[in-house]
Chains A and B, each alone.
Chain A
Amino acid sequence: MSLIKTDNLTFEYIRRDDEGNVEGITRAVDDVNLDIERGQFIAILGHNGSGKSTLAKHLNAILYPTEGTVWIDGMKTSDEANTWNIRQTAGMVFQNPDNQIIGQVVEEDVGFGPENLGVPTKEILERVEESLKTVGMWEYRKHSPNKLSGGQKQRVSIAGVIAMHPKCIVMDEPTAMLDPSGRYEVIRAARALNDVEKMTIILITHYMEEVIYADKVFVMDSGRVVMHGSPRDIFSQVDALRELRLDVPQVTLLAHELKKKGLDIPDGILTIDELVNALKRSR
């Protein structure tokens, strides 16, 4: 059975004016069908306001669908009895690193989730050690989160989620507020989790470079999934992506432009090495 399944998921925001009258209804998520298997690295792409964050919040039972159904590991999110189990199954990392760290010391923050789950003290300490080591933040365990860099804070947040032993982690634009080196740190941690621990990762982002290693990419626009497939499939369609106001990685763009000028290069080049090889062959 698939880990995450959504069936015609639709979510509407009701906009109200000052007197509370309904001004209009915004469809943030429109008829989305996802089917995500265990151990996959999934990327969801889309520019601002495409509904990707709203979708993410459905996977953690923070929002409930207006229409349709979401199943997380076989549990329906709309059933309130499942809420806490779902939140333990699908951990969530948010965008702003400062606003999701509760503890005043790194290790205390990582322990917050297991504390809430009622895990015995001895096991909490083990889980904290294990998860801080997984993200490479063990030597910072006694530090105050205020003194860490953005990338380090996000890794602490990821450790905090891992310590709850979830089956998948939903990352809602975890790199949007970070500098390039922080972004690299976080993405490397996410990939390692997927490779080594076989953790299912759902990465929501608008940075194209971050999705090239994903198993499957969903592209969203005004609440709908407009494209899905392997990164190579998606990036072969440079013109379609540009219409959705999404940038493709520079190498892909260069390859695309070269091809248009008549060079013999395949579609969907993702890395520099691939382009170099393709150019060598085309000579």
Chain B
Amino acid sequence: MSDRQSTNAYWKANLRIIYISMAIWALASYGFAIILRPLISGIKIGGTDLGFWFAQQGSILVFIVLIFFYAWRMNRLDREFGVEE
């Protein structure tokens, strides 16, 4: 595989990880916390519903997990393609 092909494959793999992460990012904030809140309002938590928890706590926790997942996954990808520092 030439250098350029390998770089392209690395970039495509990176984009795929970004797409998945961004889908979860949007689901936790715009989804559960806002748009889908009425749908999941049946799930009660501490005097209110799950959507409220996502809006004030859950989304932030999901964001943190996402960034560390991305950092970990990219480190592995860097090594697979031999482009790590």
Are A and B associated in one complex?
no
A interface, CB within 8 angstroms of B? none
